[in-house]
Each structure stands twice: as C-alpha cells, then as structure tokens.
Structure 1
Amino acid sequence: MTTRTTTSFEVRNPATGIAVGEYPVHTADHVTAAVARGRSAGTWWAALDFEERRRHLDRWRAEITRGRDDLAHLMHEEMGKPISDAKLEIVMALEHLKWAAHNARGVLARRTVGASLLTINQGCSVEYRPFGVVGVIGPWNYPVFTPLSSISFALAAGNAVVFKPSEYSPGVGVWLGEAFGRAVPEVPVLQVITGAGETGAALCRSGVGKIGFTGSTETGKRVMSACAENLTPVLMECGGKDALLVDADADLTAAADAAIWGGMSNAGQTCLGVERVYVHTEVYDEFLTKLLALTDDLRAGDEPAKIGPITMPKQLDVIRRHLGDALARGGSALIGGPDAIDGQFVQPTILVNVPEDCSAVTEETFGPTLTVTRVADMDEAVELVNASEYGLGATVFARRHGREIADRIHTGGTSINAFVAHATVPNLPLGGVGASGFGRVHGPDGLREFTYSKSTTWQRFPLPLALTTFARKPLTDAIVDRLVSALHGRIR
C-alpha cells in the first residue's frame, strides 16, 4: 500500500496500514543520470575478468547472508510475507546468485568453433559480451528472489544494472543496493531508483542495453511499447495460470500438500502458483478429502502467520470478481468464498464445479484460491491445461506416466511429483510462453539473456578457390557447383 506526493511516496504495511518507509519519486532526469553513471561503472565492471567479478559477487552474497534477518523483516513489513517464507525466498536467491557468479566464465567466455568445408581456411570464435547497462523492473510479490534472477545474471555477465523495485517494496530494493555498495564500493555498478510506473517508463526509454521485466502481462505490454521506441530488447516474465494435474496412480497425500502450498503460500500471490487443479475421476473424491483436511488450521492473518495479506488493494477487486463469477455460474465453495475477504486478508478458498470459461479459470487471480476440476483422464487434463493463454509452469503428480504427461504440456517448465521444482534449480532456465512472456532467467540461458553474441573469424590461409572477389573465374564457379552437388545434392 502506497501514498504518493509529487516528490516522494510512503509505503504502508498492508496488514496494519502503518507507514514503514518513505522513498523519492525518481524522475526521467534522475533515471537518465543513473544510466549515465551506469555506463561509466559498466566499463570498469566489464573490464574485470570473470574471476574478479565472481569475487565481488561472492562478497555481495555474504553481505546478504549476514543481513538476512533484517532483510526478511523488511520484506514482511512492506508486502506482508511471513518471516519464515521471506527467509526461504532469500535462500533461493542466494543459490542462484552463487550459480551465476561461478558459472559465467564457462557459459560466456570466448570459445573456438569449427568451420565448414567451403570455409575451412577460417579460424572461428564466439563470445558473449555484456550490453553495458541493463535495466531491471522488479515485482513486489517476491522482491528478492525474482529481481535477483535478472540482476545476478546481468552482473555476472559483466553489465552494470539500474534496478527499479516495485513501489510496494522499494525498501527491499534499496537494501539490496546498499549491500552491493558495501561489497563493491569502487563504482556504482548496481543502482536503485524508486517510483511508480512513470519511473519504470523512463527506464525503458533511457537507452539501456536491455530491460528485464517481471510483472503482470498487461504491464508487460506497456513496458514493451515503451522499449520499442528505441528498439530496446526486453526479457518478459509475466503472469501465469498454472495448473497441477493429479493422475489416478498419484501419491495423493503429496499432491494435496503441493496443491495447498502452491495455491495458498504467499497468499496466492505467485506467478508460478497453483490456481487450477485437474484430478482424475477415480481419485477425485479422495483427493478433495485430503485437500480439505490440510486447510483445517490454515488461516490468513493468524499468528504465527502462515498466510499474509493481499499486498495490492486493487487485487481484492479481482479476487472478489473471480469468486462471484464462479459461484454465479454454478460453482460452489467448499471453503472460503466471497465472505472470506476481510480487509486486506483473504482466507483460503477452494472452488469446485467451476465452468472452464469462468474468469476464475481463465484469468490470473493472484489470491489464495484453487479451482479443483474432475477429469475423465489425463488426456482431458492436458487439453484443459493447454487451453489457457498462459504458459508459465505446471506440476504433474503421477507414478507411471508423469514424464509422458509433462511432455505434452505447453509451458516453459514442468515439474513431476514436486511443486515447480524446476524454478529452484539454478542450472535450469525459467520463463514462459504465450501470455506468460518470453526470454529466460537462471541457468546458461539466463546468463546469455543479458549478453549479445560476438562472432570473430580470422583467415588462416588463402583458399585456392577465391570466392568473394570480382576476379573469380568461370572455372571456380564450375568447381564450386560440383562441390555443392556432391555435398548437398545426393541426399535421398
């Protein structure tokens, strides 16, 4: 929750309404100046070798680790996440930061590649070079893990970074920037700017080498539009409507636990969170029994808190609309429902018999709600999952055919018998398709995302057949024609 003036904005704890910080509204001029400083700092940073950058990033990782209690408390104050969940988020971010710092050389350093028969006289190499300055626009729901998935990899690749955290969690971004400044005091390699949409738009138009964005699909479209003015490339990590599929032979206890955690943790405010559950008819009733049993002592706002508040007040209207639409169209709430919304808190809600064209099924709800649907088999489940415009992630619970089911799901990642484990593995890319965006963070793909490839050739010796010259003779053309026929024309 934020309160704004022309020069500053106040951040309030979404659970209590108490002010927890005030931050400047950085204008386009502020952003331009930050990017200019970043270009200078980026020149210094890019000139370091991979090992030197690794040491700097390791020091930053140590700073975050030593201050993790304070950082977790700040996350709790700004966006409402329970302290224990905030600490878990920090752990995941540290794992990916370490991976990026320690693997950048192997992924990005110059390497030689082979030539073809017609270019055998050329030595060849490819390397991946930093853009210079990368802009990162981060979300509030995972204010450490998600932006660091871009920031860590952009820095490891040799870029300077200008980071605009969400206006709902600016203090977390400022804290991360200050920790980096203690680890790397020489030049402002990582700068933090604060503000709302206008500040983010200024960053998109500032001439940075690339923008890494995480947020809703609709906001992502506006970011792309602003970046298009300068042909600034973008990485889009957008919304999701992830599903969990339960086959007839699944471990139902584990599947129910994953569905509850995937749907209710972080108050459902997770792009990769479970919002839809499709269960084989043979085990549907048993699964529902297990699922409901897990909600007996699960309430938002209770101490010790397991589910925090809804961070953005306007999201309550979306949740209320989705629940109302589902119930008006014949669905029923086994627990929760519209009456579960009380102030900034939403109690866990499980809906059944919801038509597939309801907004609760087709649109991102971003609240602690699940729609649970009976299906005849996994063929029907896969068809319904793939009908969504979103394609971020999915989870499959099955003993015999998990891999076969997962391979048919049209998403950027799928995990079998564990809730979106692919997002936690540093060596795997993470990202979506369709309305969930494009580009990847994490793993080798995440490092290359913040670079451009540079190809270099050097002539080792002249060819007896000179091809790229106006002095080329008819005999040369005839020999080449025979070579082409021999190399490519005999395939049957």
Structure 2
Amino acid sequence: MTFPAFYQPEQPESNPAGPDHPEKAPYVRMMEAARNAQPDWRRLSFPERAAYVRRLRKLLIRDKEEWIGLLGEEGAKTPMDALFTDLVTAAQGLKHYEKKAARMLRPRRYRRLGFLSERARVLQEPVGTVLLVAPWNFPLQLALVPAAAALMAGCTVLLKPSERLPRLNAKLRELLAETGFPAGVVQLAEGAREAVEGLIDAGPDKVLFTGGTEAGRSVYRRAAGRLIPCELELGGKDAMIVCGDAHVKRAAQAAVWGAFLHAGQACLSVERVLVHESVFAEFTEEAVRLTNSLRYGDRGWRDVGPLATRDGWEKAMAQLDEAVRLGAVVQTKGWEEGVDSPLFPPTVLTGVTPGMKIMQEETFAPVLPVMTFREEREAVRLANAVPYGLSASVFTKDRKRALRLARELETGSCSINNVIVPVSDVRLPFGGMKGSGFGRIRGREGLLAFCRTKTITRERGLAKSAVNWFPYRETAFPYMKAWLSRWYG
C-alpha cells in the first residue's frame, strides 16, 4: 500500500522502564486483576454495587475515633478538621452515590429523529479500570468519594494514596478488605512517584489525579503518551472579593476560617482577599482580632494546627520573607520569638502587591494577604491575574452584582457570601480551569467522568430501503426540499 507523502506512521517511543520492566511487574499484575474483575463487577445491578458502598460507609463511621486519631497524628489535622473535612464529607459522598447513581445514569430515550423513523437511546457505560491518585491533605474524602463514583458506574479501581501517610494507608487497606469487595475490584497501591508512573504505564482506562499543578502536568504528559484520558484537580490561589456593601464581620469571619482551615493546606483555601477601600480598615481590624483569638498549636484542643510537611513550611516561609522584604506588614501575633517547623502561626498580611509570590503562587500555610481595590473591574482583573482558576468568593448584599462578578471570575466555581462551599456539597460538580486543571469531580458530572457515552439507534427494519439511501431518487428530491422548508424554515 502506498501512502501519500504527508503521511508519517508514528514510531513507538523507547521506554526502558515500560510495562515489561521488572520494576513495573507488580503494577501490571494489579492492572490485569482489575481488568479481569471488571466484567463481573459491571454486570452487578446498581443495588448490588450499592450494598458494597453502604458497607464501606458504615465501617468507616464505626471506626471514626481511630480515623480522627490517625488524621491528627499523620496528617496534622485538628480533631474538628479531621471530623468535618474528611469523615463527614467522605460519608456524605459515599451515601450520595450509593443512593443516586442509578437515577443519574438512567438511559435517555429519543423517539423520532427528523424525517427518519429511528428511535435512539443514550447509555452511560463504565470506562473500565480507573486509576485514582489521592493527596495527603484530605486522604479520606479525596480517595473514597471518587472511588464510590467509579464503583457505582461499574468501574474497577486502583487507588494510589499518598506515601506520606503509611499508618492511615494501612487502615485504609483494612477497611477495603473488611468491606469484602470481590478480588480485583478495589486495590490499593502504595509508593511514591514511581508507583504512579508504573500504574499509568500499565494502561488504565482513566486517570483521576488530585494534587499539585506541577505533579499534575507530569501525570498528564505520561498519560498522553498512551492516550489515557485524565481528570486533573490541581492547585488554587482563590480570591475573595469584599465589596463596599458587604456584611464586613461575616466576610472577615469567612476569610479567617477559609484561609486557616487545616492550617491553610487546602487547594480551596482563601489565599487572597481584595477589599473595597471603603471597608478595608474595618475588615482588616476584624480579621486581625479573630486571628489573634484563635487557639493555635500542635497538641490539645485547637483551632489551627501545625503544617504537615517540611517542604510546605519552607516554601511558605520563603514567600512570607519575600513579601515582608518588599513591604508587606505582618499584622498578627505569633512571630515575636521566632518560629520553626512545623509551627506556622495564622498570619494576616497587609501592604501586599500583586507581583509578590505570596499573591501569585499557591501557599499551603495559614497566610491571609489583604489588599484594597477601588473599582469593581479592578477587583476582577486582580482576581483573574494568577495562573490558577479553581474557585473564588464574593461578599456583597447586591444579588445582581454578586452574580455579575461570579460570572466574570475565571474559576470553576464561586461562592457568594460564603467560602469553600462547592467542595463541601457532594451534589455539586467541582473542578477548575487554567493551572487548576480540568474535568469535574462530585455531583452527576463526577459520576459521568467514569463513564463512556454510547448512542444506540433502532429502526423497525420493515422496509427494504430508506429515502436517503442509494440509488438517489430524483422524484423524492423536491419532497425532501419541501420537508426541509416546513420543519426548519
């Protein structure tokens, strides 16, 4: 066969550490087990799949005290953060898909298609085997909620949790084993970057990665070489806009909680506050007062705990040092006698400028930079002038202004007079744009992420031919033109 000159067959890439490499063998075996298990898992009815998810949920809640302890010891979470941000949200997500998946994946039917007599049905079928890469900061909800969605869609799951939490991962393995999933349906793979690479090279049908933007780019590049579709939920630099007519005390309370929840170690943290100049002094005074009243430390009952990683502490300190060197002012207490890792006092900064790293790069620490704006357009420009686009919030009493600002912000979600709502409500799709990734988790969209859409048309097939088949009939041509004018003209 002779191809045109412009056709160049693709050459396979040389990959010495490919699927046949000895180091990749365990991941290949896991993938084979998942693929072998998927047809039988897919054949189960929705109620049968839901029974496993229900048991998983009940076992999770049964051991809540142990989970809270592990999340505190290994993840540096306060007891309330462990309960609220991981256990409650994970349980809600499991129950949501357990109860709603069958209805959300119900086939859509269409009767007549134009002048044809066909009927059609649109189905959602499982993509197959899914690789879920979960982060360390919310290890239960960001592992179990997407896993429940994938399982209810009929997929088998390879779960790669963070290697930074070995004891919690061991407990997670016990939980999955006690749930009693059939062999190969849910497998937990431990390891760091090499595990992610080995699992991608083993060829899953879909990858969901939650983590940092640079790591997400690496995952995307590796998956792209095998044309594996990805959902990437990456970092953020979320802005809060406080308008002149806002309920200032509520806005300050929301900013302090949104910035310091889990010591600021959340992709959805409030990382920048843009306050109208008319209420800047009032807002800052209240935010500083609230921050100084927080119970902070690494033991006992507290509002804000320490940072979980040394590298996160060092990056945040470098950002803070640069900001202060360029003119920013620390307005809160806690730094008087010097601080070392893992402690990082909740900090309110004023005097910041848009070009500072602390206003451009993600900060995984309890830092709240505050600056003023004069006009609405300026606030939108400043909010959008970062590489990220995960979420944002707007505080105003004017409903029309709030909706207008929310639409103009380049983010995947926006909360009005509240913060961190989109990821807290499992019914809502959540995800970002720009450097914050693409795709959606949670809600119906998060379920469809693990499905392939298939269209099936049906004709009774009684006639030997159709009006638009060969041979074209000249006598039918004027009737088809008349039909076109009648239906669409």
TM-score normalised according to structure 2 size: 0.90
* Percent of paired sites with the same residue: 32
Partner residue, 1:389: 387
1:366 corresponds to 2:364: yes
C-alpha contact (below 8 Å) 1:324/1:338 kept by paired residues: no
Question: d(CA) in 2 for partners of 1:286 and 1:300?
Answer: 28
Q: Can you list the C-alpha shifts for 1:283-323, whole angstroms capped at 9, x where unaligned?
A: 11011111011122332325323322222222222112211
> 1:214 offset after TM fit, Å?
0.2
1:445 and 2:445 aligned: yes
Which 10-residue stretch deviates more, 38-47 or 351-360?
38-47
Aligned length: 463
1:265 counterpart (261, 267, 271): 261
Q: Is it true that 1:310 corresponds to 2:291 in the alignment?
A: no
Per the TM alignment, residue 371 of structure 1 is displaced from its structure 2 partner at its CA by 0.8
1:91 aligns with 2:64: no
Q: 1:468 to 1:173 in 2, by over 3 A?
A: farther
SS class of match (2:115):
helix
SS of residue paired to 1:40: helix
Equivalent positions of 1:18-37 (< 5 A) are 27-37=23-33
Secondary structure of residue in 1 paired with 2:191: coil
Matches of 1:200 and 1:188, distance apart in 2: 18
For the residue of structure 2 that corresponds to 1:270, the secondary structure is coil
Report the secondary structure of 1:373's partner residue. strand
Gaps of 5+ in 1: 1-25
Residue in 2 that maps onto 1:253: 249
Q: Structure 1 residues 81, 107: CA separation in 2 closer, same or farther (over 3 Å shift)?
A: same
Contact 1:323 1:338 in 2 (8 A): no
Higher mean alpha-carbon deviation, 211-220 vs 96-105, is at 96-105
The whole-number CA distance in structure 2 between the counterparts of 1:464 and 1:132 is: 38
Partner secondary structure for residue 428 of structure 2: coil
Give 1:148 deviation, angstroms. 2.3
The separation in 1 between residues aligned to 2:370 and 2:343, in whole angstroms, is 22
Runs of 5+ unmatched residues, structure 2: 1-21
Q: Which moved more, 1:90-99 or 1:173-182?
A: 173-182
Report what 1:274 is aligned to: 270
Matched AA of 2:314: D
Q: Aligned-pair distance for 1:463?
A: 6.9
| 1:29-428 correspondence to structure 2 within 5 Å | 29-88=25-84, 89-119=86-116, 121-298=117-294, 299-301=296-298, 303-335=300-332, 341-400=339-398, 401-428=401-428
Cα distance in 2 for partners of 1:415, 1:254 equals: 14
- CA separation of 1:193 and 1:370: change in aligned 2, threshold 3 A: same
Q: Distance in 1 between matches of 2:259 and 2:177?
A: 37
Distance 2:338 2:150 in 1: 42
Q: Which structure features the higher share of strand residues?
A: 1
Q: Secondary structure at the match of 1:244?
A: strand
Deviations 1:411-447 (A, max 9, x none): 1111111212122222210000111011111111010
Displacement of 1:338: 10
Q: State the 1:460 CA deviation.
A: 2.5
Q: For residue 445 of structure 2, what is the amino acid of its counterpart?
A: D
C-alpha distance 337-228 of structure 1, shift in aligned 2 (>3 A) = farther
State the distance in 2 between where 1:190 and 1:439 align: 23
Counterpart-to-counterpart distance in 2, 1:204 and 1:467:
49
Counterpart residue type for residue 56 of structure 1:
Y
Cα distance in 2 between the residues matched to 1:399 and 1:359: 32
Deviations 1:230-261 (A, max 9, x none): 11100000000001111122222221111111
Cα separation, 2, equivalents of 1:176 and 1:484: 61
Matched-pair contact (CA < 8 Å) for 1:300–1:348: no
**Which stretch shows the higher mean deviation, 372-381 or 471-480?**
471-480
- Given residue 100 of structure 2, which amino acid in structure 1 is its aligned partner? N
